[in-house]
Chain A
Amino acid sequence: MGLRDRLLQHAPPIGSSQSYDDYVASGGYQGLKKALGMEPDAVTQMVLEAGVRGRGGAGFPAGRKWSFVPKGTGKPVYLACNADESEPGCFKDRQIMERVPHLLIEGCVAACHAIGAQIAYIYVRGEYPQSIAALEAALVEAREKGTVGSDVMGSGWACDVWVHKGAGAYICGEETGLLSSLEGGRGYPRIKPPFPAVEGLWRSPTIINNVETLANVPLIVRDGVEAFKSVGNDDTTGTRLVGISGHVENPCDVEIDPATTTIRDLIETHAGGVWKGRKLKAVIPGGSSVPVMPADAIDVPFTYGAVRDAGSLAGAAGVIVMDETTCMVDALLNLMQFYHHESCGQCTPCREGTGWLEKLVTRIWKGEGRPSDIDLLDSVADTIGGAQNGKTICFLADSAVMPTKSFLKHFRGDFVAAVENGGSPVWKAQEARRAKVSA
């Protein structure tokens, strides 16, 4: 089957959005129709067997997540679609929302049927007005055609889907931060337990799934588990949408077979290779929070397991490519500014520590670093990192720590050079420019 009939197979190019009619003509809403004829648990079972793992970054099996919804609580169940695609380097979900919005809507409704929900909220980041517009337009069509609303496809079952617009906060992509925001609050991640599947939105069971995860659901139901698993391998079933950006000739988003596509393929085949004929220096494969990989580590297929074994994470599939001219101190500083800026400030280590990391990297970048700063940076990273060891409520601090530690591990030389030679070349160039302007 290859990549036929996968997520973006029938998608129009960027800038246009597939209409309801075109979507139906390409086999759309057949999965939902079939799901509505099945017992909800049977739908969950299919998703479970398909082995589709969360495409938002953590890779948790979606079917297992759904199975955590307790039965018979008497409370409503909610679906929250995580479309707060904010991880630097990631832009894949945007492709789905803008180009094939009905695919996501169908996925939401089918998932609602499976988990016993009747309302889905699609939380889209405020920086995606085009995605919001495409989804809103598609929802108007879907309501008209009855694939969303009081009588979904004539089944007598009601299901609503609403778009909820974010307003500029990375942390709302953390699943419980998203819930806090959706409830009208600051996007603070929540302590667990309770887990959202038990107590999420308004203390009711809530499932949070990424856009791409949900977009796979109609295909799984329509074409069957085996067809879905015909792409990928046991570790990573189905296709993956990958965004490739940075120092490549052709930054783009592609849908790939993760089992047969290596990171090198992504860069060289899909993105036209490293730009300007330069050599590769480093790759961040899964969005900016995952460990950086040196150039010689990229001959691995883009499955969760293979990238993990190579020392990083496939994460949310945002591949950021850096060429040989890149100063890694400058790149790390950029990321530390990001995580410091985006820390919600709720828990101590992240609130205090992300700023500390930024200040330390800044000092090195500006040529004020001491030799001991490099180890200090590594040590401070250890001090704040470790959500799995209870350090923090969510993984934001680790998202700053993983780049820090991996940059130091693989590119220590850049940091030593900045300390010894009066700062990052980028900083020096900036200073030279400023001097020229003011002269």
Chain B
Amino acid sequence: MSVGTGPTFTDEQAAAADAKASFGDLRPRLETLVARYPERRAAMLPVLWEVQTARGWLTPTSIREIADYLGTPQAHVEGVITFYTMFKDVPVGQDVVMVCKTLSCRLRGAQEVIDALEDRYGIELGGTTSDGRYTIDEAECLGLCDMAPCMLVVDGARHGNLTPESAVQALEGGR
């Protein structure tokens, strides 16, 4: 859900991301996803995930290709992408980190964790580290309240019982 909130993508960035994996290469995998549903369009979320994972973000070309592939108007694909916070239609870091800010985490120091990360990388939540390694997003409850405060690397590790120091360390370890 990043329309208008992230950096503007350039044609070069789009081309670079599109070049990461050709849509044609993804097709065999996408076919297995489409086969799970009685209607093609139902594979929307799985297909968006696959393409986003392969290319880093959902480029304008990807969006058109997905619309064609699913037989769905492009406007609808964009409607879906912008509804869900985990879909990115602007360039993001190599990994996206979701830092939980909701009540159970806030009660246990989420704000301090967020402050530490912002300080360390000199960015505000939603921004990308200058080396392009991480985009650090604010997240609503990650369902990891038993390890609050917590953060999740999208499709990757989760880090719990964070302190300002351990939060920074967890990400530094991944560099």
Q: Are B107 and A164 in contact, with the CB atoms below 8 A?
A: no
Instruction: List B91-109 residues whose CB lies under 8 Å from chain A.
Output: 98, 101-104, 106-108
Any A CB within 8 A of the CB of B85: yes
Contact with A along B130-143 (1 / 0, CB 8 A): 00000000011111
Given contacts A169-B83, A184-B80, contact A127 B98 (CB under 8 A): yes
Q: How far is the CA of A126 from the CA of B142 in the complex (A)?
A: 10
Given contacts A91-B144, A251-B145, A251-B146, contact A164 B46 (CB under 8 A): yes
What's the least CB distance linking B169 to chain A, in Å? Answer: 20
Q: Are B76 and A185 in contact, with the CB atoms below 8 A?
A: yes
What's the least CB distance linking B151 to chain A, in Å? Answer: 11
Q: How far is the CA of A87 from the CA of B145 in the complex (A)?
A: 11
Q: Are B72 and A184 in contact, with the CB atoms below 8 A?
A: yes
Q: Are A168 and B46 in contact, with the CB atoms below 8 A?
A: no
Which one, A107-115, A334-342, A364-372, is touching chain B? A334-342
Given contacts A86-B143, A334-B103, contact A183 B46 (CB under 8 A): no
Given contacts A129-B156, A322-B107, contact A88 B140 (CB under 8 A): yes
Q: How far is the CA of A342 from the CA of B98 in the complex (A)?
A: 16
Q: Using Cβ atoms and an 8 Å threshold, which residues of chain B touch A128?
A: 143
Q: How far is the CA of A155 from the CA of B119 in the complex (A)?
A: 61
Q: Are A326 and B107 in contact, with the CB atoms below 8 A?
A: yes
Q: Using Cβ atoms and an 8 Å threshold, which residues of chain A touch B106?
A: 330-331, 334
Q: Are B143 and A125 in contact, with the CB atoms below 8 A?
A: yes
What's the least CB distance linking A322 to chain B, in Å? Answer: 6
Q: Are A185 and B104 in contact, with the CB atoms below 8 A?
A: no
Which one, A189-197, A239-247, A300-308, A416-424, is touching chain B? A239-247
What's the least CB distance linking B67 to chain A, in Å? Answer: 11
Instruction: List B71-93 residues whose CB lies under 8 Å from chain A.
Output: 72, 76, 79-80, 83-87
Q: Are A127 and B84 in contact, with the CB atoms below 8 A?
A: no
Q: How far is the CA of A165 from the CA of B45 in the complex (A)?
A: 7
Any A CB within 8 A of the CB of B64: no
Our pick among B72, B85, B98 for the contact of A169 (Cβ within 8 Å) is B85
Q: Are B107 and A90 in contact, with the CB atoms below 8 A?
A: no
Any A CB within 8 A of the CB of B113: no
Q: Using Cβ atoms and an 8 Å threshold, which residues of chain A touch B155?
A: 129
Q: How far is the CA of A288 from the CA of B49 in the complex (A)?
A: 29
Any B CB within 8 A of the CB of A252: yes
Can you name the residue of chain A whose Cβ is closest to the Cβ of B146?
A251
Any B CB within 8 A of the CB of A52: no
Can you name the residue of chain A whose Cβ is closest to the Cβ of B76?
A185
Any B CB within 8 A of the CB of A57: no
Q: Are B143 and A127 in contact, with the CB atoms below 8 A?
A: yes
Q: How far is the CA of A202 from the CA of B76 in the complex (A)?
A: 17
Q: Are B49 and A88 in contact, with the CB atoms below 8 A?
A: no
What's the least CB distance linking A148 to chain B, in Å? Answer: 13
Contact with A along B1-12 (1 / 0, CB 8 A): 100000000000
Q: Using Cβ atoms and an 8 Å threshold, which residues of chain A touch B83?
A: 169, 186-187, 344
What's the least CB distance linking A204 to chain B, in Å? Answer: 9
What's the least CB distance linking A167 to chain B, in Å? Answer: 4
Q: Are A91 and B103 in contact, with the CB atoms below 8 A?
A: no
Q: Using Cβ atoms and an 8 Å threshold, which residues of chain B touch A318?
A: 145
Any A CB within 8 A of the CB of B63: no
Q: Are A130 and B146 in contact, with the CB atoms below 8 A?
A: no
Q: Using Cβ atoms and an 8 Å threshold, which residues of chain A touch B76?
A: 185
Q: Are B86 and A167 in contact, with the CB atoms below 8 A?
A: yes
Q: Are A76 and B146 in contact, with the CB atoms below 8 A?
A: no
Instruction: List A160-201 residues whose CB lies under 8 Å from chain B.
Output: 160, 162, 164-170, 181-187
**Complex A-B: 9 CB contacts under 8 Å:** A168-B84, A169-B85, A185-B80, A245-B145, A246-B148, A247-B107, A320-B107, A334-B106, A338-B103
Q: Top 6 closest A-B pairs, CB basis? A: A184-B44, A245-B145, A168-B85, A167-B84, A168-B86, A88-B141
Q: A interface vs B, CB < 8 Å?
A: 76, 85-91, 94, 125-130, 160, 162, 164-170, 181-187, 202, 243, 245-247, 251-253, 284, 288, 318, 320, 322, 326, 330-331, 334-335, 337-338, 341-342, 344, 430, 433, 437
With A162-B36, A243-B146 given, name 4 new contacts (CB 8 A): A88-B141, A126-B154, A168-B84, A185-B79
